[in-house]
Copies of this chain bind each other. A is one copy, B any other.
């Protein structure tokens, strides 16, 4: 992108440019003061940033400080995962009243019921470039030949990164174009930029070797930061499932409803999802995901894809409840991006998830927390307590709370 946009002229006043992009404390302050003066406002809290400004390089441009968002904790959450094992207190950054209380209620119930079983099924990420040809014939031939070149592609792609590894490669012919899905393992990084670079290298090799005339590194199919049905097939981030058997008595004690009422709620709201032409089915994944992502320095825009999944409630033969969530595209990281910045690393430490090797553990904790939130909201709707709960805890009304 433009390193130095055209200079101001014709009344366009650019944000001030600084030497070395302006990440020193003075430069950040100077930029903020420029804005304050220009707009005639004061930004004291924005200026009260606890993140050393030099650490912001690589995470933001034109910095003027930091925003702050309340942080609460919900727990205990007992997780029996393949990677996460133990009792957790989960950080939520949010300004939506009643949200933490709602997740907490579900967590306590799940813990009382023996905890959540969580499993990371797939751990990777995907880029889907598009190759364009003159005719459907050339496209078909390219797709047919591609399997012969997978080793070469892997060598190219893997040469660009120490953390990503190219797995399978799938071609989908669409008219005279071919969309190729490059599936990678990305270790503990969200890894999107890493694998885009690797993919670009592999694609360039295909063009250089005369196998395709041109490509675009994005076709839109990978659904990065968007919702789509494709995401349900997994491969974009972790695919995680979390489930728990909840005895009827425990459900009654915490939610004041029966397993059968939960199953009925699932039925009714599945109908609503079908009528809405929704993708998958969930109550409010986005609530928990957003709050945890903000707290833990994740790329919050990934909630758009991570919130695609399926919640399920079933009666067991004993008329208890089996509840589960499936998150096929949970894009999370414990290294890279914003994970090391200021409060983020502190929040990751609360979960024992800061740094390398912890991404699958982090994914399992998140999925377990999401299950708690689903149950709690479903319970509130089923029991008719939803409105009351928000009246009690939430700042739901435009007028200030008394």
Contacts and interface: CB of A to CB of B under 8 A. Distances in A.
Contact of A68 (B68, B290, B391): B68
A6 B177 contact: no
A121 B140 contact: yes
B66 A275 contact: no
A59 B396 CA distance: 9
B60 A254 contact: no
Contacts of A12: 76, 108, 111-112
A93 B223 CA distance: 22
B15 A75 contact: yes
Interface string A107-141: 01001100001110100000010101001110110
A402 to B, nearest CB: 10
B282 A226 contact: yes
Contact of A376 (B1, B200, B269): B1
A398 B72 contact: no
A227 B274 contact: no
A390 interface: yes
A321 interface: no
A247 interface: no
A224 B58 CA distance: 33
B270 A324 contact: no
Please tell me the size bucket of the interface on A. 35 or more
A274 B273 CA distance: 10
B6 A112 contact: yes
Nearest to A298: B95
A401 to B, nearest CB: 5
Contacts of A299: 95-96
Instruction: Output the residue of A58, A92, A344, A356 with the most chain B CB within 10 A.
Output: A58
A149 interface: no
Contacts of A3: 392
B394 A58 contact: yes
Nearest to A388: B1
A190 to B, nearest CB: 9
B97 A219 contact: no
A117 B135 contact: yes
Contacts of A83: none
Contacts of A310: 174-175, 271, 274-275
Interface in A373-402: 376, 380-382, 384-387, 389-401
Contact of A336 (B65, B175, B233, B396): B396
B389 A1 contact: yes
A377 B243 CA distance: 30
A231 to B, nearest CB: 8
A70 B63 contact: yes
Given A130-B272, A286-B303, A286-B304, A1 B98 contact: yes
A271 B111 CA distance: 27
A284 B121 contact: no
Nearest to A80: B137
B229 A276 contact: yes
A232 B181 CA distance: 14
A241 B142 CA distance: 14
17 contacts: A1-B380, A41-B349, A57-B401, A59-B97, A60-B70, A60-B96, A61-B72, A61-B101, A67-B294, A121-B140, A135-B322, A136-B241, A174-B312, A176-B322, A188-B398, A193-B397, A336-B395
